Amino acid sequence: MKAPTWLTLHALLVFAFLYLPIVILILYSVNGQGVGGFPPRALTLNWYRILFNDGPIWDSVLNSLLVAAAAMLIALLFGIPAALALDRANFPGKALFRRLVLLPLILPGIITGLSLLMLFRVAEVKLSLLTIVLGHGTALISVATTEVFAGLQKVNRAQEEASLDLGATYWQTFWRITVPNLRLSIIGAALLIFTLSMDEIAVSFFLIGRDNTLPLEIWGRLRRGITPEINAISTIIFLFSWMAIVLWYRLRTRAEVTP
Amino acid sequence: MARTLLSANASSAKTTTMKTMSEPAIASTAKPTSLLSVRNVAKHFGKNIVLRDISLEIAEGEFLTILGESGSGKTTLLRILAGFEQSTSGEVWMQGERLDTQPPYRRRVNTVFQNYALFPHMTVEDNVGYGLRVAKRPTEEIQARVAEALSKVKMSEYAKSKPSKISGGQQQRIALARALVNRPRLLLLDEPLSALDANLRRQMQVELKALQREVGITFIFVTHDQEEAMVMSDRIALLRSGELEQVASPREIYSRPATSYTAQFIGHTNLLQADISRGTAMCDRLAWPTSLPDGSALFSLRPESIRLAKVAPPVIASPKTASPIRFRAHLRDRAFHGATELLRVETDGGLILTIRTATRDLPETPLEFEFLAADAIPVSDSDNSNNKERR
Amino acid sequence: MFSRAYRAAITVPPLIWVAVFLLVPYLLMFCYSFWSVSESGTIIHSWNLANYRELLTKPVYWETLLRSMWIAVRVTFFSMLLGYPLAYFLSFHVGARKDLYYQLVIIPLWVSYLVRAYAWKTILGTDGVMNTLLQYVHLTSHPLDFLLYSPFAVVLTLTHIYTPFTFLPIYASLEHIPRNLVEASHDLGATPQQTFWRVIFPLSIPGVLAGATFAFVLSLGDFLAPLLLGGPSGIMISNIVVSLFGAAYNWPLGAAISLCMLALVLALIVFSERLERKWSFS
């Protein structure tokens, strides 16, 4: 059925609203005049060149990569069992457990960050990349759990029952049938978690020690004033995140199609 | 029972049903007036031709069933009448006014959906009164008409229930009430009984037929179940691959099928490919008199027309009745169907026939069977019909 | 169904992590809120209600909280205004490329908050795109300074960020509506408009509630946008907390405010879920 004109127009405007700021940012990153003046009169890759020579930025990129990798492992290591437990096991306190695991998804990052800060203070743990890893891991377990849980709904129970019927134990069934079925969900979840960790700022804000992650490095510079290379690094972040998310989405929809 | 050459040919062509209008609808109206006129309706989905050139006249007050397999186009045709699809070409007229150019919410047509499509967030009575509320009828009128509709389908005590709390059969009645309360000129039913179990289904068939007689509204019923069609309809329109194969009353379509497809789709039959020479049709070792010209022809012989020779009543010699044709066959298989049995037999020449008999104890095989020549109905060959004239 | 070892393996590790890194920190926050800070900057572990008294009596906290809630309400409202028709359009009026458009809407959701907030900062500045454009079409003669460093900027930026958040659950609930209900409504004489208000919208309410809760709760607790774009007039409650854990060094008071926020958020979530259950019919 064809849509009324105002509805189509509205949809177009919303798309524009969602994307124009990014487009403008990308334009700025190649703008010859830096942060002043629009529209760009001269195009240049100068800012990218400056960016590539900027040491501290790349240090922070490395830090972010390490943190993201570690956080991804933690989130998957604890999130996959959590999803299985929620889907299949019954135990006392399940309702509370489910609430707690999923809470960081909807809770503002400041609460997650501050509560962990207090934990580290009391436990006398110094703030560092490790504390950031622990923070990301905690926040992102909820993402892993949600993604894997959704993937579990699509796993064909009949296959698992057939496996048991044919003589396999629960462990064997788990590794031979369940996990391969979940493969796409897990890979997709890993991708998503990695990207979210790279971009994470709210929780990291409170748990940062001496070493910066990329978002916090950028944040620090923003407080001091805008330089055009920030446009360049933002564009790069945007493009990489975009690609990763598209990949995640493709994997996730493919997981639905494979029987 | 003798069939003339002319009438056999008349019903075997794919006709516009102006001819079948001479068959009076067995409805309460003495003089059937045409309510709906479907004129050369065709529907394509891209390259896929779902309906080709459908023309049909539907009388007021009649119960017409559109019968067909899945993929025959029957649901598409219904949706075109309801307004949910647009035909690619052709027109639909209702009582002198063009129907198919109107959106569904302006047609005096209502639909009973296959999965009932009851609104889950409204009570039963709110569901039933929906059409009246939307038309902004006064509250008292709505209440009265809803109560009346609910009592007609015997669901008055469920008025305040939610659809999720009532059974499938009950939901179906509510869907019916919801449609009928608006007093449409035409009611469309899209396989409404297919989700019900067999016993409930049979019961609903009877109730629906009685309801239609009572309210006098024209019903167009879509199903793939040929038994259902025969039980309920005044006329059946058999649809096959987007074309009307035959449109006739249940009795006519059963006893005088026009094509081999019709003969096989409705009930069981034996198709005999016969060579005709000088007034005698010969198939395998069987021979019977026919008035068709020389050549080859296809005949339909219903299983119940073949009887065990021993139990056949003594034939009263009369110039009108020809003597039955006898043959011998070996029993290969039998299937128990309650009141009757279906036997699969093989003649000496290797011809396999299906025979329906009520006899329990069968004598030793080989058995002797017989049938009357008049029961061998000539039908046109559906598989070869593609080379017939195309419009 | 499962062996005890298997059951233990999948429940115990996550339970431990959740207990250590979620439950215990919240409990600590609870404890901190009853302590106080000394002159020299050490935490005194004496239990009292001083912090809560402070919150109730000093107007600045109430004002900021109310301002934050007002900002959150506006963000929720505008996100809905943008998100709902978009979801409806995608669900009911887009044919073959539905999936593509869906991706286009939700992918920005996961892409760096910082980048998007920063983009708005450059757009709304005195030299930014907005001002340049307005002056170019002669709507204004000099740069507008309320565009940036104001509640307006915060609302605008957060709306941009949270519109995909509201879109998601609304779209999901709209997709869930069987299309034959829409056909049935038309069949019974209702125009598309009547069908929307009587059938489609009521059945989409759970999605609307979920989306609204997300947008409201997350924007209420936001502190980054105000820091980047809010200016002095755009300070939100979380900013007060941030400074209490930073320069203003009063962890117990900050914990008290955080705890109140947590309680408020939990109450909203529970309330919203209850409403969602009432409005869900499947």
Residue in the structure block whose two tokens are 């169907």: B337
Of B104, B121, B179, the CB nearest to C203: B121
Residue scoring higher pLDDT (B20 or B304): B304
pLDDT of residue C242: 93
Q: CA A145 → CA A100, A157, A189, B202, C144, distances in Å?
A: 12, 19, 9, 50, 46
pLDDT tens for chain C, 282 residues long, are 456 777 888 888 999 999 999 999 999 999 988 888 877 667 777 788 888 888 888 899 999 999 999 999 999 999 999 999 999 999 999 888 888 899 889 888 877 888 888 889 888 887 778 887 787 787 777 777 778 888 999 999 999 999 999 999 999 999 999 999 999 999 999 999 999 999 999 999 999 999 999 999 999 999 999 998 888 888 999 999 999 998 888 888 999 999 999 999 999 999 999 999 999 886
Give the percent of chain A with pLDDT over 70. Answer: 93
Other chains touching A, judged by 3 or more CB pairs under 8 Å: C
C contact residues 46-105, partner A, Cβ 8 Å cutoff: 82-83, 85-86, 88-90, 92-93, 99, 103-105
In this predicted structure, the answer to whether residue A13 has a pLDDT above a threshold of 50 is yes
User: Which pTM value belongs to this model?
Assistant: 0.85
Of C188, C198, C282, the CB nearest to B120: C282
pLDDT of residue A233: 87
Query: What residues of chain C lie within 8 A of the CB of A19, using their CB?
Result: 108
Q: For the ranges A244-248, B55-59, C71-75, C208-212, which has the lowest average pLDDT?
A: A244-248
Q: What is the pLDDT of residues B135-173, one digit of tens each?
A: 999 999 999 999 999 999 999 999 999 999 999 889 999
Q: Would the CB atoms of C122 and A234 count as touching at under 8 Å?
A: no
In this predicted structure, the answer to whether residue B311 has a pLDDT above a threshold of 70 is no
Does C176 reach chain B within 8 Å, measured CB to CB? no
Query: What residues of chain B lie within 8 A of the CB of C186, using their CB?
Result: 83-84, 103-105
Residue scoring higher pLDDT (C154 or A179): C154
Once rounded to an integer, what is the mean pLDDT over residues B306-316? 68
Residue-averaged pLDDT of chain A: 86
pLDDT of residue C41: 67
Q: What is the pLDDT of residues B83-124, one digit of tens each?
A: 999 999 999 999 989 999 999 999 999 999 998 999 999 999
Q: Write out the residues of chain B at the interface with chain C, using a CB-CB cutoff of 8 A.
A: 82-84, 103-106, 109-111, 113-115, 117-121, 130-131, 134-135, 162, 164, 178-179, 182
In this predicted structure, the answer to whether residue A244 has a pLDDT above a threshold of 90 is no
Q: Would the CB atoms of A91 and C3 count as touching at under 8 Å?
A: no
Once rounded to an integer, what is the mean pLDDT over residues A10-34? 86
Query: What residues of chain B lie within 8 A of the CB of C183, using their CB?
Result: 82, 84, 104, 111, 113, 117
Beta bridge partners of B188: B111, B220
Q: Would the CB atoms of C18 and A101 count as touching at under 8 Å?
A: yes
Residue-averaged pLDDT of chain B: 85
C contact residues 148-187, partner A, Cβ 8 Å cutoff: 160, 163-164
CB pairs under 8 A between B and C: 69
Other chains touching B, judged by 3 or more CB pairs under 8 Å: C
pLDDT of residue C145: 74
Say if residues B368 and B295 touch (Cβ distance below 8 Å).
Answer: no
Q: What is the pLDDT of residues B189-198, one digit of tens each?
A: 999 998 888 9
CB pairs under 8 A between A and C: 229
Say if residues B214 and B181 touch (Cβ distance below 8 Å).
Answer: no
Q: For the ranges A150-154, A249-253, C19-23, C192-196, which has the lowest average pLDDT?
A: A249-253
DSSP-derived letter for residue C198 is: I
pLDDT of residue B7: 37
Q: Which one of B75, B84, B105, B108 would you mutate to disrupt binding with C, by most C Cβ within 10 Å of its Cβ? A: B105
pLDDT of residue A145: 94
In this predicted structure, the answer to whether residue B18 has a pLDDT above a threshold of 60 is no
Q: Is the peptide bond before A92 cis (omega within 30 degrees of 0)?
A: no
Q: How far is B245 from chain C (nearest CA, A)?
A: 29
Output the six-digit token pair for B373: 């020549």
pLDDT of residue B46: 87
Output the six-digit token pair for A35: 């942060």
In this predicted structure, the answer to whether residue A62 has a pLDDT above a threshold of 90 is yes
3-state secondary structure of B177: helix
Does C96 reach chain B within 8 Å, measured CB to CB? no
Q: Which one of B113, B126, B171 would you mutate to disrupt binding with C, by most C Cβ within 10 Å of its Cβ? A: B113
Burial (CB count <10 Å: 0-12, 13-18, 19+), residue B47: exposed
Query: What residues of chain B lie within 8 A of the CB of C198, using their CB?
Result: 130, 134
Does A37 reach chain C within 8 Å, measured CB to CB? yes
Other chains touching C, judged by 3 or more CB pairs under 8 Å: A, B
H, E, C per residue of A96-118: HHHHHHHHHHHCCHHHHHHHHHH
Q: Would the CB atoms of C6 and A230 count as touching at under 8 Å?
A: no
pLDDT of residue B94: 94
* Complex ipTM: 0.88
Q: Would the CB atoms of A8 and C88 count as touching at under 8 Å?
A: no
pLDDT of residue C158: 95
pLDDT of residue B2: 40
In this predicted structure, the answer to whether residue B267 has a pLDDT above a threshold of 70 is yes
C contact residues 10-29, partner A, Cβ 8 Å cutoff: 10-11, 13-15, 17-18, 21-26, 28-29
pLDDT of residue A11: 93
Query: What residues of chain A lie within 8 A of the CB of C241, using their CB?
Result: 110, 114
Residue in the structure block whose two tokens are 């992102």: A140
pLDDT of residue C183: 96
3-state secondary structure of B362: coil
Does C276 reach chain A within 8 Å, measured CB to CB? no
Does C185 reach chain B within 8 Å, measured CB to CB? yes
Confidence category of residue B13, pLDDT binned at 50, 70, 90 = very low
Confidence category of residue B244, pLDDT binned at 50, 70, 90 = very high
**Which amino acid is residue B104, in one-letter code?**
P
pLDDT of residue B186: 95
In this predicted structure, the answer to whether residue B217 has a pLDDT above a threshold of 90 is yes
pLDDT of residue B273: 92
pLDDT of residue A36: 57
Output the six-digit token pair for A143: 């993402």
Q: Would the CB atoms of B119 and C199 count as touching at under 8 Å?
A: yes
> DSSP labels for C212-268?
HHHHHHHHHT--HHIIIIITGGG--HHHHHHHHTTTT--HHHHHHHHHHHHHHHHHH
Q: Would the CB atoms of B84 and C184 count as touching at under 8 Å?
A: no
Does C260 reach chain A within 8 Å, measured CB to CB? no
pLDDT of residue B132: 95
Confidence category of residue B26, pLDDT binned at 50, 70, 90 = very low
Q: Would the CB atoms of C203 and B120 count as touching at under 8 Å?
A: yes
pLDDT of residue B316: 59
Q: In angstroms, rounded to a whole number, what is the distance separating the alpha carbons of residues B385 and C100?
A: 46
With the CA atoms of B110, B115, B120 and B122 taken in that order, what torsion angle do they form, in degrees rounded to the nearest 10? 30
Say if residues C126 and C107 touch (Cβ distance below 8 Å).
Answer: no
Of C3, C107, C255, the CB nearest to A246: C107
Query: What residues of chain B lie within 8 A of the CB of C181, using their CB?
Result: 117, 119
Confidence category of residue A255, pLDDT binned at 50, 70, 90 = low
Helical spans, DSSP H, in chain A: 5-29, 46-52, 55-88, 94-106, 109-122, 129-154, 157-165, 170-173, 179-199, 204-207, 214-224, 228-257
Once rounded to an integer, what is the mean pLDDT over residues B272-289? 89
Packing angle, helices C98-110 and C59-93, rounded to 10: 160
Q: What is the pLDDT of residues A67-113, one digit of tens each?
A: 999 999 999 999 999 998 898 888 888 888 888 888 999 899 999 99
